[in-house]
Amino acid sequence: MTTEGEKTAASAAPAGHARRTAKRALVGRLSWGLADQAASSMSNFVVGIYVARSLGVTAFGVFSLAWVTYGVVLNVSRGLATDPLVVRFSGVSDASWRGAVARTTGTALGVGSAIGAACLVAGLALGGRVGPAFAALGVMLPGLLLQDAWRFAFFAAGTGRKAFVNDVVWGVALVPAMVVAARVGSVAAFVLAWGASATVAAGYGYLQSGIRPRMTEARGWLREQRDLGYRYLVENVSLSGASQLRAYGLGAIVGVGAVGAVRGAELLLGPFLAVLMGLSLVTVPEAARVLRRAPHRLGSFCLLLGGGQAAAALLWGGALLLMPDRLGELVLGGVWHSAAELIVPVALGVAGAGLGTGAAAGLRALGAARRSLRCQLFASACYVGGGLGGAAVAGTVGSAWGVAAATVSGSAVWWLQLRSALREHHQDTIREVRTP
């Protein structure tokens, strides 16, 4: 005859095993997110270093303007296509996921084609130093955005390994492309090499998934996801648009070389930013899973996530301060001396951003698009105001400190909004339970 204690032990064992299995699955998904972003960021880091050493601070500033513009377009694609995907199609059935991915990747291709055509026309009209770089970016945008869409699609399905392999393919294709670009020796050649290698990886993403992007269904996707997509669009564009406005304004106030210096300082934080971006790929899907399975743990999950990233950023910034000048010159060449002055404020800014991403993941998981939009608009306004106001007062260094202060302030607003959203969610849950 089984005793009551034996029954309790027997029921506890499977529960404990299930918890351990869930934790291992979570660690596995986070690990693939970090590995994927390490591969992606390493490629970006190598490209940035290679261009900085090959072309000098002024030409590197032109390349950075094209890079920042790509960031804006990328966030348009994510807001309309992949952000709604990871919120609503993470952990769903395979059939549902495949249908959504076909429409998502089609939307990304449509965004890349439309904005790419505009960039091409603008670049040809501009001419000079900047024009050819923007024309080259316009040609490459469809492949760049499709490659990014595959990554988010794989993480939504919990198969981060495929995203990692895809980014490795991009990195391998990048090597010969960079060699050819170096022989040409122009900014446009480097942009073309970077985009062409991404297009190779985008083609491989089709082979990995067996899903054909359907541009004809992009309008239907936008209509179905409009309650999230358009808010995420504004939110994402305000973030990257603020970076672009700050870059353009800094170039106008101080000079294009200042843009290169800021980008150089950001490159020094590249390994940590790889961790930050790698976690961002999986934080929203994981936060959504926590909300479904244990909603009372969402706040602590977000706090652990944001606090860990902030602490890591500060540690990495401290390590950079100990870097000898000879090593810095080896990495960045002539860009090192102007970038080294910005290490402290840039590290503080990244720490503030890391802290805020924990709260942002929680708001996304809760579907609180209005709250997250308000937070992002406030943070973006502070970013532009601090960056350009600091530039007007104290040049490049003043701009970096203004951005650091703005980022920390924005992070505080994110956390205040998450606390309010969690309280509302808890009250709504109580009402549902009490309603017969």
Sequential pLDDT tens for the chain (436 residues): 445 454 444 444 455 555 656 556 556 556 666 666 666 766 777 777 777 777 766 777 788 788 878 888 998 999 899 988 988 887 788 899 999 999 999 999 999 999 999 999 999 998 887 889 999 999 999 999 999 999 999 988 888 889 889 989 998 999 899 889 888 888 889 999 999 999 999 999 999 999 999 999 999 999 999 888 888 888 777 877 787 788 888 888 888 778 778 877 877 876 666 666 656 666 777 787 788 778 888 888 889 888 988 888 899 889 888 888 888 887 777 778 888 888 999 999 989 988 998 898 888 888 787 888 888 889 989 999 999 999 999 888 999 999 999 999 999 999 999 999 998 887 766 665 555 5
Instruction: Show the tokens assigned to 376.
Output: 């992002």
173: Cα within 13 Å, side-chain hemisphere: 20
* Distance, CA of 62 to CA of 298 (rounded, Å): 42
* Distance, CA of 151 to CA of 162 (rounded, Å): 8
Q: Give start and end residues of each alpha helix (H) in 218-342.
A: 218-224, 226-253, 256-268, 270-293, 298-321, 325-332, 336-340
Count CB-CB contacts under 10 A for residue 330: 12
pTM of the model: 0.67
Predicted local distance difference test score (pLDDT) of residue 90: 78
Contact criterion met (CB below 8 Å) for 383 and 403:
yes
Predicted local distance difference test score (pLDDT) of residue 6: 47
